[in-house]
Amino acid sequence: DPRGTYMCETESRKSSPLQVYYRMCQNCIEVDVPTISGIVVADVVATVFLAVAVYCITGPGKGHMSRASDRQNLIANEQLYQ
């Protein structure tokens, strides 16, 4: 427990006392370098997976050729838009 009053002393003089208060976190989790790197790698992998999934769902269909039956005429032939 590092709490208490500290004073620095040299041969020629004394310093004024320094009061130290130390407060520990009760619900803290200690995180080390492998844990942080694992979180970063998992985040990057999840982001790439999400980007690929969105591209596959919304991207243009490969191999799908448009056919004449896929198109609709919005205006009949020889008819004016009103």
DSSP secondary structure string, 12-43?
S-BPPPEEE-----SS-----HHHHHHHHHHH
CA-CA distances (angstroms) from residue 36 to 24, 44, 55? Answer: 22, 12, 29
Q: What is the pTM of this model?
A: 0.43
At 42 the pLDDT is 97
Q: How is the chain split into domains, by residue range? A: 3-57
- 44-57: per-residue pLDDT in tens? 999 999 999 998 88
Which 3 state secondary structure label does DSSP give 49? Answer: helix
Instruction: Evaluate if residue 78 carries a pLDDT over 70.
Output: no
Instruction: Evaluate if residue 1 carries a pLDDT over 70.
Output: no
